[in-house]
Amino acid sequence: MPVTRERPPQHRPARRPAGPSSRRRPGPRHNLWPYALITPAIGGMLYLLVYPLGRAVLISLQDFRLRQLISGDAEFVGLRNYRTLLSDPRFWEVAGRTFVFMAINVVLIMAISTLVALMTERLGRAGRTGVLCALVLAWAMPVVAATTVFQWLFHSEFGIVNWSLTSLGFDSFDRYPWFANGTAAFAILIVLVVWQSVPFAAITLYSALTTVPTELYESARLDGASGSRVFRSVTFPMLRPIFMLVFSLEVIWTFKAFVQIWVMTRGGPGDATTILPVYAVQTALSSQRYDLGSAASMVTVVLMSGVLVLYFRQMFRQEDEPR
C-alpha cells in the first residue's frame, strides 16, 4: 500500500483586530489640519502686531501730516524724518531721561521682587497664601485705576500722603503740590511703576525658586555658606534663565510705560516726566506731525532692542566663560 505522508499543519498568523495601530497613516493632506487650527491665531497676531509695526515704519518714511491723513496721498521722503528727529536737542534729552527712568525702575523691580520671592519661599503655608493673594490682586488691578488711586493719594488738598505727613509734624507738606514739582512727579511715577511690576516678577521668581533642589541648599549650608553666598553660588546660577526672562520683560514694560505718565502728568511739569513713548505721542498730536511721531516710535523700538541684545550678549558671555 502506498504510504501517504501527512502534511504538517500550517500555522497561519492570527489576524489582529482592527485598531488605531492597524489603520492607515494619514496622508499629507491630513497633516494640514493642525496648521488650519492655528491659522486664525496667526492671522490675528499678524493683523494686530505686524501690520501696525509695518504701517508705522511706512509713515515714518513719508511726509504724513493732517492733510495726508485725510487725503491719503503721502509723499515718500526717505530718512528725512529721522534726520530731523535726531537733530532735535529735546529728543536726546528725552532719550537720556528714558534710560534713567528705565534703569531706576528695573533695578528696584528686580531687587524688591527677588527679596519678596525669597521671603515668600520661607513663609508658612498661611503666610505664603496671603502674600501670593495680595500680589495677584495688586497685579490684576487695571493700570488706569491704579494711576487714578495714586493721583488721589498725592492730591495737594485731599491726598492722604499730605495729611499723614502733616499729622506727623511736617508742616511744609500742607497742601504740597506734588505734581507741580518735576522731581516729585518723577519719583511718584517710579513708585507707581515699581508697585505695578513687582507682583508679576515676584510670582515668577517664586515659582522658579520652588524648582531648586533642597539638597543643594543643604550641601551649601553644611559647607558653611552664608545666605548671600548660597544665593550667589546656588540660587542665581540655577535660575539664571528665569532672571534673564524677567529682566527683559521689565525692560520692555518700563520702556513703554506710557499710560501711567499720560494719565497722571501728560509728561509734565514741563518735560520732567516725558519719556520716548510720551514724546512720540506729543509730537504726533501737538503739531499733527504723525511722521515724526512714527519715527520716534521706531527709534524707541531700536533702542529697546539694543539694550536687550547687549544684556543677553553679556549674560551668554558670562555663561561661556570657564569657571
More confident residue, 318 or 215: 215
**Kind plus residue range of the DSSP H or E element containing 123:** none
Quickly state the pLDDT bin for 1 (edges 50, 70, 90).
very low
How confident is the model at residue 199, as a pLDDT?
94
What is the per-residue pLDDT across 266-291, written as a single tens digit (0 to 9) for each?
998 888 999 999 999 998 888 788 98
How confident is the model at residue 106, as a pLDDT?
94
Predicted confidence (pLDDT) at residue 258 exceeds the cutoff of 60? yes
Q: Work out the average pLDDT over 94-106.
A: 93
Predicted confidence (pLDDT) at residue 80 exceeds the cutoff of 60? yes
d(CA 218, CA 225): 10
Contacts 24+ apart (CB under 8 A), 88-92: 90/271, 90/279, 91/279, 91/296
How confident is the model at residue 319, as a pLDDT?
63
Predicted confidence (pLDDT) at residue 262 exceeds the cutoff of 60? yes
What is the per-residue pLDDT across 126-177, written as a single tens digit (0 to 9) for each?
999 999 999 999 999 999 999 999 999 999 888 999 999 999 988 888 889 9
Query: Do residues 292 and 62 touch, judged by C-beta distance below 8 A?
Result: no
* 75: β partners: 63
Q: What is the pTM of this model?
A: 0.81
* 63: β partners: 75
Give percent of the chain with pLDDT exceeding 70: 89
Query: Do residues 118 and 207 touch, judged by C-beta distance below 8 A?
Result: no
d(CA 176, CA 156): 5
At the top level of CATH, which class does the domain 76-316 belong to?
Answer: mainly alpha
Name the residue among 243, 241, 242, 217 with its Cα closest to residue 231. 217
Quickly state the pLDDT bin for 22 (edges 50, 70, 90).
very low
How confident is the model at residue 66, as a pLDDT?
83
Query: Do residues 294 and 64 touch, judged by C-beta distance below 8 A?
Result: yes
d(CA 77, CA 292): 12
Return all residues near 55 (Cβ < 8 A) that are at least 6 apart. none
Q: Where are the domains of the chain?
A: 76-316
How confident is the model at residue 111, as a pLDDT?
95
Predicted confidence (pLDDT) at residue 301 exceeds the cutoff of 60? yes
C-alpha cell recorded at residue 251: 525692560
Q: Work out the average pLDDT over 210-236.
A: 83
The total of other beta-carbon atoms located within 10 Å of residue 82's CB is: 18
Length of the chain as a residue count: 323
Quickly state the pLDDT bin for 189 (edges 50, 70, 90).
very high
How confident is the model at residue 13, as a pLDDT?
53
d(CA 263, CA 144): 7
Query: Do residues 262 and 275 touch, judged by C-beta distance below 8 A?
Result: no
Name the residue among 156, 186, 173, 158 with its Cα closest to residue 269. 186
* Range among 26-35, 166-175, 182-191, 219-228 with highest mean pLDDT value: 182-191
How confident is the model at residue 162, as a pLDDT?
92
